[in-house]
């Protein structure tokens, strides 16, 4: 198979339509088989649940070319499960794990020419999503749904690759207690657009959100969880019911404990502790682990000891092991890698 003629190393995190996407339809209480299609557009009722009441949720994962030339994905069973949790909370039908994994295998294989080659730094971003396409007018779940999965080759999520980022402590909240912060609902991202605009307009890469109830604990950013390193080399990561359970963060915790022999604490992290941390990283599928150098707050600037010049040594090591596992350079824990072709 001949790869597409793309300058893989200079890709940014942007949408580029590829050849095939998977589409399945849910009607009268059942999913159809689903199939690959070439058309990148969706057609639906003007009164679709997604258009009127934002009844939609999504996932994000990646395919990688390994050192041996295989195309693999990373822990997709966890994305399937999280999409089911999101669907439950939004009263949408679950996509069965079998269908999710079949769609994944088919869509990645059909678009193999778009999977960035090993060593380019680029990856294939996979976007599964589920939405109410049947008509509603009173506030109610839609009568019909579509599950889709498309892929697009991407480079780093943050401009500058792995240069430390500067964040803004947001004056807005991301998720309410007992709300939808723990699922990947489209509505969580719609409401983050304005705070994101405010931050980016002032030159910040992202927002740091605090918990909405007390505004004393660190939650996450708009698209990644936090991971901190203490001065005595322990990993600390916020525990909260209102953040997304990041698969990358859970994997990095495992890597820290089992590959690097480090101690990890998952617990509420007070905003007042920030100044004491050595390193800070943002973890997510898109972010991988991106270093944070500074956070600006109404009480002044918090600077992590690792500084604004380069990624701190612990985040760098975590990144090296995680990407090594994903690229087939380091042996993966059982069940983490799904070979597609």
In whole angstroms, give the CA distance from residue 194 to residue 23: 31
DSSP state of 305: T
Cross-strand partners of 210: 218
Q: Site size for ligand COI, by CB under 6 A?
A: 5
Do 333 and 341 form a contact (C-beta atoms < 8 A)?
no
The span from the first CA to the last CA of the chain, in angstroms, equals: 12
Candidates 18-26, 208-216, 218-226, 333-341 — which segment interacts with ligand PLP by CB under 6 A? Answer: 218-226
Task: Please tell me whether residue 186 binds ligand COI under the rule CB under 6 A.
Answer: no
Whole-number minimum distance, CB 307 to ligand COI, in Å? 25
Strand, coil or helix: 79: helix
Q: Which does 278 bind (CB under 5 to 8 A by kind): ligand PLP, ligand COI, none?
A: none
In whole angstroms, give the CA distance from residue 280 to residue 312: 8
Task: Please tell me whether residue 286 binds ligand COI under the rule CB under 6 A.
Answer: yes
Q: Which burial class, exposed, middle or buried, applies to 298 when counting CB atoms under 10 A from its CB (0-12, 13-18, 19+)?
A: exposed
Within 8 A by CB and 6+ apart from 240, the residues are: 181, 211, 217, 219, 268
Token pair for 130: 């589920």
Do 56 and 128 form a contact (C-beta atoms < 8 A)?
no
Q: Which does 242 bind (CB under 5 to 8 A by kind): ligand PLP, ligand COI, none?
A: none
Residue from 223, 281, 291, 293 touching ligand COI (CB under 6 A): that is 223
Task: Please tell me whether residue 284 binds ligand PLP under the rule CB under 6 A.
Answer: yes
Residue from 285, 290, 306, 326 touching ligand PLP (CB under 6 A): that is 285
Task: Please tell me whether residue 225 binds ligand PLP under the rule CB under 6 A.
Answer: yes
Residue from 149, 154, 191, 244 touching ligand PLP (CB under 6 A): that is 244
Candidates 27-35, 66-74, 278-286, 291-299 — which segment interacts with ligand COI by CB under 6 A? Answer: 278-286
Task: Please tell me whether residue 76 binds ligand COI under the rule CB under 6 A.
Answer: no
Q: Which does 76 bind (CB under 5 to 8 A by kind): ligand PLP, ligand COI, none?
A: none
Q: Which does 225 bind (CB under 5 to 8 A by kind): ligand PLP, ligand COI, none?
A: ligand PLP
Cross-strand partners of 295: 167, 302
Whole-number minimum distance, CB 220 to ligand PLP, in Å? 5
| Backbone torsion region of residue 261, taken as left when φ is above 0, otherwise alpha when ψ lies between -120 and 50, otherwise beta | left
Task: Please tell me whether residue 246 binds ligand PLP under the rule CB under 6 A.
Answer: yes
Q: Is 184 a catalytic residue?
A: yes
Please identify every residue annotated as catalytic: 184
Q: Name the residues that contact ligand PLP, by CB under 6 A.
A: 60, 220, 223-225, 244, 246-249, 284-285
């Amino acid at each position: 198979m001949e790869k597409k003629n793309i300058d893989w190393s200079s890709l940014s995190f942007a949408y580029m339509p590829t050849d095939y996407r998977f589409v399945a339809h849910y009607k009268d209480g059942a999913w159809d088989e689903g199939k690959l299609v070439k058309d990148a557009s969706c057609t639906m009722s003007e009164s679709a649940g997604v258009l009127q009441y934002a009844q939609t949720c999504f996932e994000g994962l990646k395919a990688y070319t390994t050192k041996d030339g295989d195309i693999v994905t990373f822990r997709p069973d966890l994305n399937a499960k999280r999409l089911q949790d999101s669907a439950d909370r939004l009263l949408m039908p679950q996509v069965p794990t079998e269908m999710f994994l079949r769609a994944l295998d088919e869509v990645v294989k059909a678009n193999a020419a778009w999977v960035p080659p090993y060593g380019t730094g680029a990856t294939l971003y996979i976007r599964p999503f589920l939405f109410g396409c049947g008509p509603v007018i009173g506030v109610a779940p839609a009568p019909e749904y579509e599950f889709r999965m498309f892929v697009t080759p991407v480079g780093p999520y943050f401009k500058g690759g792995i240069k430390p980022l500067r964040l803004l402590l947001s004056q807005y909240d991301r998720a309410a207690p007992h709300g939808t912060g723990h699922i990947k609902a489209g509505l969580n991202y719609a409401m983050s657009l304005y705070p994101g605009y405010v931050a980016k307009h002032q030159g910040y890469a992202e927002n740091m959100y605090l918990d909405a109830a007390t505004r004393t604990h660190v939650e996450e950013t708009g698209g990644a969880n936090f991971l901190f390193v203490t001065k005595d080399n322990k990993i600390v990561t916020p525990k909260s019911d209102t953040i997304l359970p990041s698969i990358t963060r859970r994997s990095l915790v495992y890597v820290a404990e089992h590959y690097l022999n480090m101690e990890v604490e998952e617990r509420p992290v007070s905003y007042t502790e920030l100044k004491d941390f050595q390193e800070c990283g943002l973890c997510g599928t898109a972010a991988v682990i991106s270093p944070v150098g500074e956070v600006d707050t109404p009480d002044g600037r918090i600077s992590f000891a690792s500084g604004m010049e380069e990624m701190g040594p612990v985040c760098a090591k975590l990144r090296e092991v995680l990407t090594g596992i994903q690229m087939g350079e380091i042996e993966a824990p059982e069940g983490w890698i799904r070979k597609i072709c």
